[in-house]
Amino acid sequence: MEGAVQLGPENQWRRVIEFLQRSEGAPLEALELLGTPLNPQEFMEILQMTPGLRKLVFDGILATAEILDRLSGPAALTPSIDSEYEVVDMNSIRIPLCPKLETLELHNYSQPPLALADMALSRCQLSTTAQARVGGELSLDAPCYSTLKNLIFIGDVSPSPSNNPAFQACRDRGLRIIERCCSFQSSLAIRSST
């Protein structure tokens, strides 16, 4: 990533989390975590501290069911064709991790595809101009999230999403699904918008 800070796997990852906590005022747009010794809980902490991410790159092994669920747009916010959706209670809406996420890149993803396809579908249906009906009344105060535009698979991906029917609805909604072969590289890259 251009203009990125590079940290190798020899670094202690608690320090990276502490760095992100201290950098709270600097919005990050891109984060790349490859070949790291992170566990899913540490990864979740990092994602919670980086709500401005537009691009996220990480090892497929970190794509646990819990992470994918937290990245998912809530079912209650899935807009219909006319970009309106029904919400019973605005306070019950859970904001997904990385609400501005537009590009998700997974390296060597080998998990079952259904949870990832569900997450991608929930994010590729979101509209930046959606309105919500709260208790029957039209509201412009409903949270709205960026649409996932690119889902990129790098390296050994099994099973391939290209012909997987679970991803067809995502493609139908404009999600670009890209597969590439690539050599392994271990890194952490952080890019700020400032």
Average pLDDT, the chain: 75
pLDDT score for 62? 94
Say if CB 113 and CB 137 are below 8 A apart. Answer: no
Residues 17-39 have pLDDT tens digits of 888 888 776 688 999 999 888 88
DSSP secondary structure string for all residues of 77-133 = G---TTSEEEES-GGGPPPPSSTT--EEEEES--S-HHHHHHHHHHHHT--TT-EEE
Residues 134-154 have pLDDT tens digits of 555 555 555 567 789 999 999
Question: What token pair was written down for 38?
Answer: 């992170």
CA–CA separation, 68 and 55 (whole Å): 15
pTM across the whole model: 0.74
Domain ranges of the chain: 5-80+87-192
